[in-house]
Structure 1
Amino acid sequence: MEDLIVAYFRALSSFFRYLFQSILIEFIGYGAGWIVCKVFTLGRFPPLIPTEKERTRISYIGAISIVLLLLAIGVFNSL
């Protein structure tokens, strides 16, 4: 019985990890990363139709930008 519960929670955590990666990093991160890349490269990167590797890179740039923005808000809010 205990093994069944452990397997259930592993499957549930795997589902939430997939959900986190696909929704937050791909959708929200891509939008923010696209804007950040366009601003810092003066419109040269990313192309209109990015490859899968470029799309992943843009998504991670966006996710990192969001985290840095939230950290900056937290630091400057406590002053």
Structure 2
Amino acid sequence: MTIQESLAEAKAAYHELMTGRAVAEFRDQNGETVRYQAANAFRLAAYIQDLENQLATTCRPSAPMQFWGR
């Protein structure tokens, strides 16, 4: 998997988490509702930032060529 693919997947997961679609909800044996979030939003955001940093260092444009002499 490329960095771009990982980043797209992580952003999609973050979107799902932030919009409430990545929350599992069930009733336990006492009838109480339990909500479980599949991922920690802060850790996921840090992972996205790390991937973006990796991508920035691998895709950094080089300096323009300069010719010296006559």
Please give the range of the TM-score, normalised by the shorter of the 2 chains. Answer: 0.3 to 0.5
Structure-2-length-normalised TM-score: 0.34
Structure-1-length-normalised TM-score: 0.31
More helix by share: 1
Between structure 1 and structure 2, the one with the greater Rg is: 2
